[in-house]
Amino acid sequence: MQVQKYRSLVYDSTRWEGFAFRPDDIVITTPPKCGTTWTQMICALLVFQSPDLELSLDLISPWLDMLTRDVASVRADLDAQTHRRFIKTHTPYDGLPHDPDVTYICVGRDPRDVFRSWDHHFENMDHLAMITARERAVGLDDVMDMLAQGPPPRAGREIDRFWGWVDDPTPVTDAMSLHSTLCHLQSFWDIRDQANVVMLHYDDLQRDLEGEMRRLAGRLDIAVDEARWPALVEAATFESMRAHADVIAPDTTHAIWNDNRSFFNRGCTGQWRDLLDESELDRYHRRVAELAAPELAGWAHNGTIPVH
């Protein structure tokens, strides 16, 4: 099977080439803004069985594809880890190496909430700090033409930015859009019955955090003493993660956020409701129908799938 390449200013999926898996590795593979950091924190809590992290989460569970660190140093950190490894990526299944002994966790979220979270994420990013970290790690020669053109135009109204995201024609290998979000989910939806694939959903985590954490522990074959569960579940709540944002938010190592706490913005479902009226919802659903089969679209927007 040919491996698809995904690349942007921020990430490069080819950094997975030649990566040496361990049999119990966990790959957390989500579209952006679908609960990636939440899932990393849950995995940290299950692996270490303590809410106290010795390092920042971005060092414990690095984003292998991200270009703000050179790949050799990321791999060296992972090689040195003696605990069960859980690695972050935003690369879909067709861009990853496949290993039957590795567990792949894919997380979905209502795409309308994904957009709102992404829009805030963009505003909260210190773009100069991110570019500076990238330059130090891998250089900028490959993106000089892009940088010379300056940042892409950004619509003034949020609703216009939403439609730009919904209708973005950029190939899914090169952009974050509604299309890329659904394609990522589709790549795992198609193999969801495989024993080493776990599907989580943001809404399900909100509805029953402890139940979903227990389900994931079972799928990962991690035994947790009953007495530990209350503290672990509490540490995985939005409020707790926001309170500890300096060690839990992504890439705090390079200070790429204007406000670490603001990375955890609202953490709720249905953020889109004050953005779209009925006619706009009709337009949105017509676009979704062009991009995804009804079964996947239903799960993406609502969560809850049968588990094995």
Query: Contact at 8 Å (CB) between 43 and 61?
Result: yes
pLDDT at 113: 93
120 among known catalytic residues: no
Q: At what angle do helices 178-189 and 111-124 cross, to 10 degrees?
A: 120
Residue 88 has a pLDDT of 96
* Residue 29 β-bridge partners: 89
Q: Residues 83, 90, 179, 301: which is the catalytic one?
A: 90
Which of 117, 109, 39, 118 lies closest to 302 in space, CA to CA? 109
Q: Using CA atoms, how far apart are residues 249 and 58, in angstroms rounded to an integer? A: 7
What is the CB-side half-sphere exposure of residue 17 using CA atoms within 13 A? 9
Question: How big is the CA angle at 188 (ends 296 and 199), to the nearest 5 degrees?
Answer: 80
Domains and CATH numbers, the chain: 13-302 (3.40.50.300)
pLDDT in tens, the chain (308 residues): 678 999 988 899 999 999 999 999 999 999 999 999 999 999 999 999 999 988 889 899 999 999 999 999 999 999 999 999 999 999 999 999 999 999 999 999 999 999 988 787 667 777 788 888 889 989 988 877 766 666 566 667 889 999 999 999 999 999 899 999 999 999 999 999 999 999 999 999 999 999 999 999 999 999 999 999 999 999 999 889 888 878 876 766 767 666 666 665 666 677 888 888 999 999 999 999 999 999 999 999 999 865 44
Beta bridge partners of 104: 27, 197
One-letter-per-residue 3-state SS of the chain: CCCCCCECCCEEHHHHCCCCCCCCCEEEECCCCCCHHHHHHHHHHHHHCCCCCCCCHHHHCCECCECCCCHHHHHHHHHHCCCCCEEEECCCHHHCCCCCCCEEEEEECCHHHHHHHHHHHHHHECHHHHHHHHHHHHCCHHHHHHHHCCCCCCCCCHHHHHHHHHHCCCCCCCCCCHHHHHHHHHHHHCCCCCCCEEEEEHHHHHHCHHHHHHHHHHHCCCCCCHHHHHHHHHHCCHHHHHHCHHHHCCCHHHCCECCHHHHCCCCCCCHHHHCCCHHHHHHHHHHHHHHCCHHHHHHHHHCCCCCC
Q: How far is CA 201 from the centre of its chain?
A: 12
- What are the residues whose beta carbons fall under 8 Å from the beta carbon of 243, sequence distance 6 or more? none
User: Whose CA is closest to 201, among 269, 285, 273?
Assistant: 269
- Contact between 75 and 69 under an 8 Å Cβ cutoff? The reply is no
**Would you state the pLDDT for residue 131?**
85
